[in-house]
Amino acid sequence: MFCFYLENRKRFGNQHVVHLKSCELLPEKTGRTKLGFFNDFQELHAQHDPAEASLMACTYCCKSFQLNTDQRITPTEN
């Protein structure tokens, strides 16, 4: 399983960047929201409300995940 984080700051046309916990580009604690542990993005997406935040995968750490930038999820905790 992978631990996913949402970057709190919106970038790239009003989108939040999703990072893995191990990402070198992951913001400090105050700049991120923990989404939780998931096997992949599809599982993460299925367990969150699709109306909250527009997403974009970090191109550094999420290369293996095919994220559609139009998909949306809700952050759950810090």
Structural domain of residue 28, as residue ranges?
2-73
What pTM was computed for the model? 0.74
**Which of the two residues, 55 and 73, has the higher pLDDT score?**
55
Instruction: Identify the residue with better confidence: 16 or 75.
Output: 16
Judge whether 20 lies within some domain: yes
Within a domain: 68: yes
Q: Give whole-number Cα distances, 22 to 5, 49, 54, 55, 77, in Å.
A: 10, 25, 22, 18, 18
d(CA 14, CA 12): 6
> Parallel, antiparallel, or unpaired: how do β-strands 2-11 and 15-20 relate?
antiparallel
pLDDT in tens, 4-61: 999 999 887 788 888 999 999 999 999 999 999 998 877 877 776 656 677 778 888 8
If phi > 0 it is left, if psi is from -120 to 50 it is alpha, else beta; for residue 44 that is: alpha
Q: How many domains does the chain have?
A: 1
Is the residue at 39 inside a domain?
Answer: yes
Q: Which amino acid is at 44?
A: L
Domain presence at residue 78: no
In a domain? residue 31 = yes
Can you give the pLDDT at residue 43? 81
